[in-house]
Structure 1
Amino acid sequence: MNPETLKRYRGRIVGLVIAAVFSVLFFTIGFWYTVAVGIFITIGFLVGKWADGDLNASAYLDALFSKRQ
């Protein structure tokens, strides 16, 4: 497979892998445990992004609570 093809479809491939992992988790450990795993993964990602200095929490909060026109 051509590396350019993989690069072009990177988002779709990552999405499919994530969906497959969460599907397996859902069927093996249950819904609420899967939700908890997803929450912990998100928290870990945000802490890592903060540690790298890439987290701009105020921009996220502004986008979340700003009125859309």
Structure 2
Amino acid sequence: MNPETFMRYRGRILGLLIAIVFSILYLTIGFGYTVAVAIFVLIGYLIGKWIDGDLDVSTYIQALFSRRD
């Protein structure tokens, strides 16, 4: 597979790989544990994005606590 093809379909390939991993987790450890793993993966991703400087937490906090008229 050449890199151009991978870059064109990277979202589909990544989604397929994630689905396979979570399917295997669901079948081996059950639904509840799989949801817990997914939550921890999401939290880890967000922390990593924040550390890299790509996530502006203050904007989300302001939007959460701002008054809507």
TM-score computed with the length of structure 2 as normaliser: 0.80
Q: Are 2:13 and 1:13 equivalent residues in the alignment?
A: yes
Which residue is 1:34 aligned to? 34
Question: 2: CA distance between counterparts of 1:57 and 1:35?
Answer: 24
Question: 2: CA distance between counterparts of 1:19 and 1:45?
Answer: 17
Shift in alpha-carbon separation, 1:11–1:32, aligned structure 2, 3 A: same
Paired letter, 2:32: W
Unpaired runs of 5+ residues, structure 2, are: 64-69
Question: 2: CA distance between counterparts of 1:47 and 1:4?
Answer: 30
Question: 2: CA distance between counterparts of 1:49 and 1:4?
Answer: 26
Question: 1: CA distance between counterparts of 2:60 and 2:5?
Answer: 32
Moved over 3 A (4+): 58-62
Report deviation, 1:2: 2.0
TM-score computed with the length of structure 1 as normaliser: 0.80
Q: Percent identity?
A: 68
Give the structure with higher Rg (CA).
2
Aligned residue pairs, count: 65
